[in-house]
Every structure is written in C-alpha cells, then in structure tokens.
Chain A
Amino acid sequence: MSILLSRQSRVLVQGLTGREGTFHTEAMRAFGTTVVGGVSPGKGGTTHLELPVFDTVAAAVQATGADVTGIFVPAPFAADAIMEAAAASIPLIVCITEGIPLHDMVRARAFVAQQGSRLIGPNCPGLVTAGEAKVGIIPNHINRPGPVGIVSRSGTLTYEVIQGLSQAGVGQSTSVGIGGDPILGLSFKEVLTLFRDDPATKAVVLIGEIGGSDEEVAADEVIARDFGKPVIGFISGRTAPPGKRMGHAGAIISGNRGTAQSKVEALTRAGAKVCDTIEDVVAAAQATIT
C-alpha cells in the first residue's frame, strides 16, 4: 500500500515529445513506472520512446486505460492541458510545469474540482511511491521503500529529506511534492488525510514554507484531530524578510499571516515535532521508526 500512486498505475505523459517530457519519461520508466503513452497534439499515430503518441487525452485514455497523467507542457498551455485531463476523467493529474498564469490556474483548478479529479501541483516535483512508481522529476536513486510518508511544498528540499532518510536507513512510503505556487491542487490537509488512512505509512514528514496558511489548516484540521501517527514538521524561510518574494511565487509573507512562526506554532500545538534543520528531521524520523 501507499497513497495516490502504485505499480498498478497506468501513466500518461502530456508533452511526451518535448525535451523535458522525453528526459523525465525515460527516468520514470527506468524507475519502474508503467508509462502507457503520450499526448502531443498533431503527432497522434506516431511513436516516441517506443510509446504510442495521441493527439488528445480522451483518445489516449480510451486506447490505454491511463489513470494518471504527468504534465510537462510549457506554461502558456499547461492550464489547458490540466483541464483536458480532467475532462477525460483522469483521476490523478500531476502538473510539473512552472510559471502558469495564476488567473489560468484559478479557473483550471475550479474545473478539476468540479470534474472530481485530483490535481498535484503545478510547479511541483511530482510524487514517488518508493520501489513502485514515480511521476515527475524526483531523482530516482535517492528513494528507498519504507514506512515514512513525505509531503512538501519545496522541490530540492524534498530531495534533501528523502536522501537524508534513505541514508539513515529510513525508507519512504510515498513522497509527494505539492508545489510552490499560490494556486495549488492537493493541499497539505488532503495529502495528510490520505497518509492517515494508509496502513503502510507509520509516520509523516511535512516540509512547509512561508506564505499562505495551508500548514496551519493542516495542523488544526488534520494533525490535531486524532491523526494517530507521528508527524515531523519543518518550515523553511524562517529568516526571510516580510514582503520579499523568494523565487516561489508562493513564498511571500504578508503581515502576520503565513509567517514561519505562525506555522511552527500551529504544528507544535497540533502535536507535531517541529525541527530546525533537515538533519534533525532525519534524526527525529529515525527515532520514531526504530
């Protein structure tokens, strides 16, 4: 067991024939993911990386039975790609693309919710179920199967945690990068709820950052309410000055809302152990599991 993604998942790649799509599809397959085809409008009927290419997501789903899609299309077209996947009723949509206009995302997200699909991202590294399957760009070699679930807003910081845990002998169930944009699909709250109900996950590491209040909501509404599993938290951007935008469109603090302090306090109050460094996160996870 694990959450969202398993070796049974049948994965489609939107933007398969592009540079990013090609590179990461090869890595995903090397990891063991069952990639069933790709979508590149105008290239339907051809093959790429020995995979069938379709003009539309609907045609791809019909031919392949895909139930997950990874989106690697350029930002101006990505919101449309998300909606196309939702319209084709793909249950899990993972959008890696960075830099999607926010007005587009507000609309696309509302559409996805209405269609009943789940969206991860955008501007995220995707997700990995260690030893089973991966959709996205998380490096292959750092993952190791085990009992710790990871949910994170950052990309490289997620890799740090995964690698640190693996090197310490602590494996992961599923690692989910929910993305750094202001308008996201799945939130901490939703992913934590999935981890709560997953028997294979014994503890959860939550990597948050300044901006928004998803961490606070997850702390109050999930972790504090009989979560039943240890949660180890970490918040980056503690020293970022207010009002400065730190690369992620999301990482901006306004007023008291969304500060590192407010997140640390909310998580601590909910019973999570909040660490100051990634090394401490790894040590805490190790202590929890062994």
Chain B
Amino acid sequence: MKFLEYQVKERFKTAGIPVPEGRLARTPDEATRAAGALGPIAIKAQVPVGGRGKAGGIKLARTPAEARVMAQDVLGMTIKGYEVQEVWCETLVEIARELYLGLTLDRDQRLLVLILSAQGGMEIEDVAAQHPEAIARLHPDPWRGPQPYEIRELIFGAGLGPLQAALVPLVMKLYSLARTLDGITVEINPLAVTQDGGLVAADGKLEVDDNAIFRHKDLVGAEEAGEDPLEAEAKRRHLTYVRLDGTIGVIGNGAGLVMNTLDLVQQQGGRAANFLDIGGGAKADVVHNALELLAMDPRVRGILINIFGGITRGDEVAKGIIEARRDLGLKLPLVVRMTGTREAEGRKLLEAAGVAPEVTATAAARKIVELASRG
C-alpha cells in the first residue's frame, strides 16, 4: 500500500519526525486560507507518482492571492494519468543542505537496510552510481534493531559526523515507524538541514507491505483515489492484474508462467495488454471473472489463456471459458493452451464449444498474435 505525501507526513509527525507545517486543500479557497494562516507556502499536487515538480505540480506562493492562482492551476491538472484532486500547502523551508535517509528491503542480504546519504534530493540511484562514497548502509539485526553505536557508524560513514546528535534519534524513529507499520520502503528525501541546523523531512515516501495489511486495518492509503480504472476493477474482483501497453489479453495461473506468457507473446511479434494471474486451484467462476475483466478493456484484440493444471483443473477452466464466452457474447479471438490435471476433459469441453486448444505455449502465442493482427 502506498501513500500520498501528506499521508506520509502525518505518519512522520506522529512518529516524532519533524515535518513542515501544512494543510490539505481541495479548492482554491482552502489554499488561500492556508496561505493566510501559514505565510509563504509551497503548493504540492497530491498524486501517487514521482516527477510532480517537472510536471508543474509544485508551485510557490508568497501571498494568499498568489496561492489562489497557483491552486487553481494545480488542482485539476493531470500528472501521469492521475487527476490532481488535492494539494498540500506547506510552510516554505529554508534549506541549507539536502540529505537522504531511507529504509528498504535488501533481498540479497535477506534483511532490512538503512541507507543514509550526504547527497539527497536527487535520485538516490544516481548518487549511488556516481558517488558511492556518499552512501552509507546499515543492516540492523532484525531482533535487536539498530543500536545507537551502529547508527553513529552509519552517520560517520556517510560523512555526517557533525549532525550525529540530531540524526541518531531520527534514524531510530524512522526504523521504529517501519517496524510499527510494516513499512517495506520508508524514505525521507530530501531530508533538509535548515539554515538554523535543524532537520526536517521535506518530502517522504512510505510503502506498507500488502501482506501485513491484515494487522493495520485502520490504514488508509493512496491507491483507491487515482488508480488505473482497470487495475481498480481487478482489485474489486480480487484478481492479480497489471495493466500493460499492448493488445493481447493474457490470463494464466502462476506469476512465473504468466510472465513467461508475456515474453512469448512478444517473441511472436505481439504485445500483451496485461498480466493476469488467476493463481492455483482457480474454479470456473474465477476464469469467468477474469475474462469479463479483459472484455472491458477496449484495447484488447485477442485473448490468450495459458493454464498448467497442477491444483488447477483443466475441466474447471474450460467450463469458465465456455460460460464466459456465452454470457459475455465474446467475439474476440481466443486461444487456449492447456496442460496438466484433467487436460483431456478440458480439451473435450473446449473442442465441443468450438475452441481448439493448443498444445504448446509457443504455438498458442503465435496463433493469438496472428488472429489479433487479422482482426
């Protein structure tokens, strides 16, 4: 689960991480009032994507009158497909220096890693590539958590010794926020050093582990607001779906198998319109549900279904396909590749319904690309 900037900053504030004072505005009137109360402000579009500044989604307003004009500009803008419905109005911070502080998962070490850099503000990946000496890492023991001496090593390692008194408690707070919320990415970037030497989280990111949402039922994230309509519909249908940019709808069981199916479609000269994994043991109704979703996508010119029956049964999948075609009046070309458990029964059902199943995934991909390009 991801969060908008203001939601992240509210969490930071609760965790004791200093943030600029701010207010949320949904109308130019509200932004005008915020400027009246806060003085000079930054007006920041609240969208769950990066690159807002470049897109014109961040403006500075010195007066309430300016704030009204700026808010009128930003509200209603579309940034990378997301319509701006809210702006965060916050006190301007006089920044002397920009640092980076983050926590994420290190898959290779199988641990969480704290990352501190003396150069924040820009893409941390670029800093890592060009100035590796400016980045320090700490893999805290997951049971003990980071100890102050380890955090001091991190700070001195990043060349930020003079800031250690303020940084040690800040790193502690960031780590405990991540632990408390099951945060798998928590970032303060830039972590601003102000003119008077204080530390302020000028911007922040938070991603909470979707697997742990069951123990954070109170959390409200950003996703429902600006999400792709097909991905939102998929979520309502409890389907694992990712929208891609091609024209071949793909359904399969198992993430690896579906990813491989996308690769095969491309090898045959087509482009997949989506990733859709119906998982293990899917029954006819899940297949029906998945086909119904793809039928809503106007870009889809043909559908490829690739099933390996382990726990999933071929006859169940065939039933779902046949029912969905009938109920939805599906006219799109459809190619099914099916193997494994109850393969023979599934094939018989499909053949009787006029869908000839393919034996290999490669052949199936070739056929759907051909049929879709004809339509």
Q: Which residues of A contact B (CB under 8 A)?
A: 75-76, 99-104, 106-107, 109-111, 125, 137-139, 142, 152-160, 163, 180, 182-184, 207, 209-214, 217, 236-241, 244-251, 255, 276-279
Contacts and interface: CB of A to CB of B under 8 A. Distances in A.
Contacts of B264: 277
A156 B257 contact: yes
B244 to A, nearest CB: 7
A236 B211 contact: no
B211 A138 contact: no
20 contacts: A102-B182, A103-B212, A106-B110, A111-B143, A138-B310, A156-B252, A159-B308, A160-B260, A183-B107, A207-B256, A214-B108, A237-B256, A237-B259, A238-B266, A240-B259, A244-B275, A246-B255, A246-B259, A247-B255, A255-B125
A163 B339 contact: yes
B125 A182 contact: no
Contacts of A250: 107
B3 to A, nearest CB: 16
A76 B142 contact: no
Contacts of B63: none
Contacts of A109: 110
Given A137-B280, A279-B360, A157 B111 contact: no
Interface string B100-137: 00000101101110000000000001000000000000
Contacts of B240: 247
Q: 7 tightest CB-CB pairs across the interface, nearest first?
A: A154-B256, A156-B254, A247-B255, A101-B212, A157-B256, A156-B257, A248-B255
Contact of B259 (A110, A152, A158, A251): A251
A277 B261 CA distance: 10
Nearest to B363: A279
A154 B340 contact: no
The B interface, classified by DSSP as helix, strand, loop or mixed, is: mixed
A138 B340 CA distance: 11
A180 B256 contact: yes
A125 B252 CA distance: 17
A153 B182 contact: no
Contact of A160 (B182, B277, B280, B308): B308
Nearest to A247: B255
Contacts of A163: 308, 339-340
Interface in B244-259: 244-245, 252-259
A125 B310 CA distance: 10
A247 B275 contact: yes
Interface of B: 105, 107-108, 110-112, 125, 141-143, 178-179, 182, 184, 209-212, 214-215, 240, 242, 244-245, 252-260, 262-267, 272, 275, 277, 280, 308-311, 339-341, 360-362
B242 A139 contact: no
A154 B257 contact: yes
B111 A110 contact: yes
B290 to A, nearest CB: 13
Nearest to B184: A102
Contacts of B209: 101-103
A47 B309 CA distance: 31
Contacts of B112: 103, 106
A128 to B, nearest CB: 12
Nearest to B140: A106
Q: Taking each of B242, B263, B277, B280, which has the highest tally of chain A beta carbons within 10 Å of its own beta carbon?
A: B263
A237 B261 CA distance: 9
Contacts of B108: 212-214, 217
Nearest to A139: B310
B124 to A, nearest CB: 10
Contact of A239 (B215, B272, B340): B272
Contacts of A241: 244-245
B107 A155 contact: no
Contacts of A236: 256-257, 259-260, 263
A111 B143 CA distance: 9
B4 to A, nearest CB: 18
A97 B240 CA distance: 17
